[in-house]
Amino acid sequence: MEWTVAPGSASLIVGCDVMDSPHTERVRPAGPGPAVEPGPPPLGPPEPGEDRIATVPNLITLVRLLTLPVFVWLLLGEQDRLGAAAVLAALGATDWVDGWVARRFNQTSRFGRLFDPTADRILFFVALTAMAIDTTSNGGGVPLWLIVVVLVREVVVAAITVTLLALGAPPVDVTWWGKAGTFGLMFAFPLLLAGSAEGFGAAGLFEVLGWVAAVPGLVLSFVAWVRYLPLWSEAWREGRVLRAARAGQ
């Protein structure tokens, strides 16, 4: 799950690298000074087929999103941590499927590039919140400090992404570091949840495996946070240029 924000998605999350394009035009600001190269507009005309919504990858993302209530019901309604962990693991394991199908069968779309990371963020936020409620209400469960640290990081990333978009800046691509960190945490949480299930014979093993995935996942997610800083700064500067260009038209 990464906010595609993805960034990868996610991660909300499209590219900010400025490249030469047939849609690029040079804009001369008011007063003396050289022409400014604003780069391609962030929401320019889609390529042929890029405006599709009804695609197999988008359907896969929708099915993953609609499975989320099942996880919440199992965890908070039935208090079945093992069953909830199995659903959450399936959601995490299928995170790559929609992107692979889109690339393999040429079904990429502008909607999908926004829908996939947005769905990942929704899955992440709801799952973390449900696990926090489970931990505080029923005792045991996934450590609350880990949930809070990851939630704070996700909230900050989401807030910055939305703010940049509101200011007219182009969205930022999900980095490999962000995807890897999210991937690790997506496996860590179901493993830790299963490791806290009462009456589960392999609970101890699952808890150890959960921490093996959680520690590098947490480190990578904060490395990604640091690496996003120059990308956010560049997106903000490009957004200023684009706003100035529109104002001068």
What pLDDT, in 10s, does the model give residues 71-83?
A: 999 999 999 999 9
User: Is residue 5 over pLDDT 80?
Assistant: no
Helices (H), 94-175: 97-104, 110-138, 144-166
Q: Partners of 27 in the beta sheet? A: 36
Q: Give the model's pLDDT for residue 20.
A: 35
Residues 126-134, mean pLDDT to the nearest whole number: 95
Report if pTM > 0.75: no
DSSP classification of residue 49:
T
Q: What's the burial of 54, exposed, middle or buried (CB within 10 Å: 0-12/13-18/19+)?
A: exposed
What domains are defined for the chain? 56-247 (1.20.120)
User: Is residue 50 over pLDDT 80?
Assistant: no
Compute the distance between CA of residue 80 and CA of residue 69 in angstroms, rounded to an integer: 14
Q: Give the model's pLDDT for residue 133.
A: 96
Helix 203-247 vs helix 176-195: angle between axes, to the nearest 10 degrees? Answer: 150
Q: Give the model's pLDDT for residue 106.
A: 86
The contacts of residue 144 (CB under 8 Å, 6+ apart) are 132, 135, 136
User: Is residue 172 over pLDDT 70?
Assistant: yes
Contact 23, 44 (CB under 8 A): yes
Tokens encoding 21: 């394009």
Compute the distance between CA of residue 71 and CA of residue 75 in angstroms, rounded to an integer: 6
